[in-house]
A and B are shown apart, each in its own frame.
Chain A
Amino acid sequence: DAGVTQSPTHLIKTRGQQVTLRCSPKSGHDTVSWYQQALGQGPQFIFQYYEEEERQRGNFPDRFSGHQFPNYSSELNVNALLLGDSALYLCASSLEPGLAGYNEQFFGPGTRLTVL
């Protein structure tokens, strides 16, 4: 059973460019969350997708956008890249918790983005 997979592993871009990162959730999971982890810091929540819609968003500008496909996979897009966008981008998948309150998130290995 494959876990959460992300591509690419590493990426180098220059300021002002746009980037797309991809995530395939763990089999059976329908919810995908994205996190940004700057060097030496904890992950920060960007947004979560469920049923192909953005369900909740953290404190990130509109340059960060996403998409979820019918097969539950997801993309994170970042426009007009800044040097400060350099980070490890983590994807996490889970089952929609419903009334249970919470379901465990499984994290992928991340995509390391470097903006020059």
Chain B
Amino acid sequence: AQKVTQAQTEISVVEKEDVTLDCVYETRDTTYYLFWYKQPPSGELVFLIRRNSFDEQNEISGRYSWNFQKSTSSFNFTITASQVVDSAVYFCALILRGNNDMRFGAGTRLTVKP
């Protein structure tokens, strides 16, 4: 069975600080996909990134970067120079190839104070 753990329930930072959101996953499958979603107060899940299990390259998109390490089963998300608009709940998720059951972590609530 697959599982996603986000150990950080809540994080609070001051604007312009860097912040890393941790994600640890469990699966015995060799082909899977990992995701990060942002959920603002409106409730809609906003897709941020997808990684497949064969692509361990780290990725940077503007102020966002992701560190995927299969050796530690982690897929961490870093926001550089955080902004108030980054305040939201962030979810890490895992789906196996051929399976439609996307497993989400419990989420990390990020608050960025001005």
Using CB atoms and an 8 Å cutoff, list the residues of chain A in contact with chain B: 33, 35, 40-45, 48, 55-56, 58, 88, 90, 92, 101-102, 104-110, 112
Q: Give the 3 A-B CB pairs with smallest separation, nearest first.
A: A42-B104, A107-B45, A109-B44
14 further A-B pairs in the complex, CB-CB below 8 A; given A41-B106, A42-B106, A45-B103: A33-B102, A42-B4, A42-B104, A42-B105, A45-B100, A90-B43, A101-B52, A102-B33, A102-B50, A102-B95, A107-B37, A109-B43, A109-B44, A110-B43
* Interface size counted on chain B using CB atoms at 8 A: 26
Distance in angstroms between the alpha carbons of A102 and B47 in the assembled complex: 14
Contact partners of A90 in chain B: CB under 8 A: 43, 45
Pick from A56, A102, A107: contact of B97, CB under 8 Å:
A102
Pick from A40, A106, A112: contact of B47, CB under 8 Å:
A106
Residue of B nearest to A44 (CB): B104
Contact partners of A107 in chain B: CB under 8 A: 37, 44-47
B55 at the binding interface (Cβ < 8 Å): no
Contact partners of B8 in chain A: CB under 8 A: none
Are A104 and B44 in touch, CB under 8 angstroms?
Answer: no
Instruction: Map CB proximity to A onto B88-103 as digits: 1 under 8 Å, 0 otherwise.
Output: 0001010101111111
Are B45 and A43 in touch, CB under 8 angstroms?
Answer: yes
Using CB atoms and an 8 Å cutoff, list the residues of chain B in contact with chain A: 4, 31, 33, 37, 42-47, 50, 52, 91, 93, 95, 97-107
Contact partners of B100 in chain A: CB under 8 A: 33, 45, 48, 55-56
Measured between C-beta atoms, what is the minimum distance from B63 to chain A in Å?
22
Contact partners of B102 in chain A: CB under 8 A: 33, 35, 43, 45, 105
Central interface residue in B42, B97, B102, B104, by most chain A CB within 10 Å: B102
Residue of A nearest to B98 (CB): A101
Contact partners of B33 in chain A: CB under 8 A: 101-102
Are B45 and A104 in touch, CB under 8 angstroms?
Answer: no
Are A58 and B104 in touch, CB under 8 angstroms?
Answer: no
Are A108 and B44 in touch, CB under 8 angstroms?
Answer: yes
Contact partners of B44 in chain A: CB under 8 A: 107-110
